[in-house]
Chains A and B, each alone.
Chain A
Amino acid sequence: MSQQLTKKNEMDIPLRHKETKRQKTNLYFRKKIGWLFVIISIIAITIFNFYPMVQAFLLSFQSGMGGNLEYVGLANWKRLFGDPTFIAALTNTSIFLLIQVPLMIVLALFLSVLLNDPTLKFKSFFRIAIFLPCVTSLVAYSVIFKYLFGVDGLINQFLVKFGFATQAINFLADPFWAKVVIIVAITWRWTGYNMIFYLSALQNVDKSIYEAARIDGANAIQQFFQITVPMLKPIILFTSITSTIGTLQIFDEVVNITNGGPGNSTISISQYIYNLSFEYTPDFGYASTVSYVIVILVVILSIIQFRVAGERK
């Protein structure tokens, strides 16, 4: 080995010597060209992403009505922790997150394993049927859910007619049921989306692993937990992070189905930000403080998820 290496190096040296000045500038130029290609996107990201992020950060230390903003130091952050509406929004969003994301991931995983069964008939029909909710508009499906769960809605008619409930449940006016409706709605909308990731990952799992497991006498449940889940780990991590971010930013569903109500029992952080900026007398400073809370939460939760599920690199 070492002999070969030295030989190679010996051969390299004369080559380097031969490298003319022209070739040198050529190489430099080529590197520069590479930079020129990326510089457009770098500048665009800087202007449209980083610059607003810095400005929003500065804004989060200001407060005032509309255009009359002034620096107030940490007052916004102090206000944050004593603000019952913010705490309600944070609690609601956390509840959605803690219940909905695991529920959806498990469901998506389960469905994808079922649909990956080679003996299953009408496979593409089921796949399309489950994926289809993802192509609907957020607002449109929210409105439909609102009517489904209305007092005179289809769900209530079904419940009453078949004797599951003695009288119609006012889902959207009850703090508990309103949350349930939101969770059901998001789960319906996004399960298929996550399922597609798992399905495509499952296609890449070597069949011989399962075969070997079967020969060793592993049953379906053991195969699922010992092979499927570990093999899909990176995808599970990816989907749980994107779902976490998505749920933290939940807005359309809450606004359209319950409008945060009853009381503040379904208000989300994003809706509170919207209210602070456009519903009430605008206080963009405080609103951007609240938005930075989402940023901080996303960073913390992503780190946790990486630590728990990710490779230790």
Chain B
Amino acid sequence: MKKFYLMFMMLLGIVVLAACSSGEEASGGESSSEGSASVDKITAWAWDPAFNIAALEKAKEAYNGDGEYEVEIIENAQDDIIQKLNTGLSSGTTKGMPNIVLIEDYRAQSFLQAYPDAFHPLTDVIKSDDFADYKIATTSYEGEQYGLPFDSGVAGLYVRTDYLEEAGYTVEDVTNITWDEYIEVGKKVKEATGKNMLTLDPNDLAQVRMMIQTNGSWYVDEDGSTPNLAGNETLAKGFETYKKMMDEDIAKIVSDWSQFVGAFNSGDVASVPTGNWITPSVKQAADQSGKWAVVPMPRLDMDGAVNASNLGGSSWYVLNVDGKEEAADFLLNTFGSNPDLYQTLVKDIGAIGTYSAAAEGDAFAVEDEFFSGQQIITDFSQWTEEIPAVNYGLHTYAIEDILVTGMQDYLNGADLNQVLENAQSQAEAQLK
């Protein structure tokens, strides 16, 4: 029996060793891929079939380089892409990883820093001057350009002109205003129409994020990792404004995306301050055609704040695996240098890119019937240029979760400075 145990343990040992060594082989395989072999098929991962996937399909059609390879487009939910990248890259295996992947700007830095060698720099491939300034800060790391900036998250204030009129306002009255003025308008609108001015989701501080970016501020310092919460005047102002909207009772509380969309589709709110990607959802309510206009985002009432901000947006990245040359070639000859592609994207998908040369095309000047003939794409492109560049850094979502709790305390009457100081110390303890 002893003999048998011995045999058993040896077998076990062999199995365990085999499991370990196969891991090493995989990571060895990765380092040998530095030399890179050419491949005849590259894969691209993205989410949202109506937007990003459609854009990739258009890009595939528009490709005008001379590379000979097939591009396979795979749709994954954004959360799945994040999970797959994280598990794949941290285990050191590149098997099953795509060549091109779409990453949200708020998360880009954390991927670039967490997996330093996993991404292929595009510094020599694309000219970063060709793209909107504010996108470059989030897509580059340590002087190298890693991302090819894709869609703009440029934000605007969608307003219901009919509700404004009822309250005695015109579109000019809400153009280039501050958030304080916005709240005044909101109070009047509620008096006159009984409708709330906007929706707020207490679990999502997107509103605050957009506010503070109008003044070039963020949750973190410019280094991208030091939390900048306590003593951040812009953030404090954003919190105050948020609370004021709650206190003045001009906000309808929602708790998820479909309630958010439902609120303006059913005419429950008079305005929607958010990213331009909401346009298709606003247009869903065809009966509201001609009742909407888009004006620049309100700014915080502070020196230096501008009427332009951003929400969301993402960029393309090339993974450092076999086929990276082909992947870079594909991106360069599509999103990186083809203004016509961007015309198609605007016309067919409604996706506004951040490639500056594309903004002069006809498709951008199209007058939108739904918005009473306003050239909304042109307007959005102009505002894109004015968005203050901030380094979103590493911890947007981690800090946001801390702030969401802080916001609850603040709304329930806690002292703002104390709230932000607590958040600061909590963030410092948590993020290293």
Residues of A at the B interface (CB closer than 8 Å) are: 31-32, 35, 39, 43, 46-47, 51, 63, 65-68, 79, 82-85, 88, 146, 150-151, 170, 172-173, 175, 258-265, 275, 277-282, 284
- Which residues of chain B from 380 to 432 have a CB within 8 Å of any chain A CB? 394-395, 397-398, 401-402, 404-405, 407-409, 426, 429-432
Q: A151-B259, A263-B405 are in contact. List 18 more A-B contacts (CB 8 A).
A: A31-B1, A35-B4, A43-B15, A46-B15, A51-B16, A51-B19, A67-B118, A84-B426, A85-B426, A173-B255, A261-B203, A261-B255, A275-B397, A278-B82, A278-B86, A280-B110, A280-B397, A282-B114
Contact of A146 among B12, B116, B256, B408 (CB under 8 A): B256
Return 22 A-B CB contacts under 8 Å, by A number.
A31-B1, A43-B15, A46-B15, A65-B113, A67-B114, A67-B115, A68-B116, A83-B429, A83-B430, A84-B426, A146-B255, A150-B259, A173-B255, A261-B202, A262-B203, A263-B203, A263-B407, A275-B398, A278-B79, A280-B395, A281-B110, A282-B110
Interface residues on B, range: 35 or more
Contact of A68 among B19, B114, B253 (CB under 8 A): B114
Instruction: Give the distance to chain B from A34, nearest Cβ to Cβ, in Å.
Output: 11
Instruction: Give CA–CA (A281, B220) in the complex, Å.
Output: 14
Contact of B430 among A85, A263, A277 (CB under 8 A): A85
Once the chains bind, are A170 and B253 in contact (CB under 8 Å)? yes
Instruction: Give CA–CA (A82, B19) in the complex, Å.
Output: 37
- Using CB atoms, name the residue of chain A closest to B402: A85
Q: Does B83 contact A (CB under 8 A)?
A: yes
Instruction: Give the distance to chain A from B169, nearest Cβ to Cβ, in Å.
Output: 28
Q: Which residues from A are CB-within-8-Å of B116?
A: 68
Q: Does B89 contact A (CB under 8 A)?
A: yes
Q: Does B92 contact A (CB under 8 A)?
A: yes
Instruction: Give CA–CA (A280, B400) in the complex, Å.
Output: 10
Instruction: Give the distance to chain A from B312, nearest Cβ to Cβ, in Å.
Output: 16
Once the chains bind, are A282 and B90 in contact (CB under 8 Å)? yes
Once the chains bind, are A63 and B432 in contact (CB under 8 Å)? yes
Contact of A263 among B253, B408, B426 (CB under 8 A): B408
Instruction: Give CA–CA (A145, B282) in the complex, Å.
Output: 27
- Which residues of chain B from 250 to 268 have a CB within 8 Å of any chain A CB? 253-256, 259
Task: Find the residue from A173, A175, A277, A282 having the highest chain B CB count within 10 A.
Answer: A282
Once the chains bind, are A280 and B398 in contact (CB under 8 Å)? yes
Q: Does B8 contact A (CB under 8 A)?
A: yes
Q: Does B10 contact A (CB under 8 A)?
A: no
Contact of B12 among A43, A82, A279 (CB under 8 A): A43
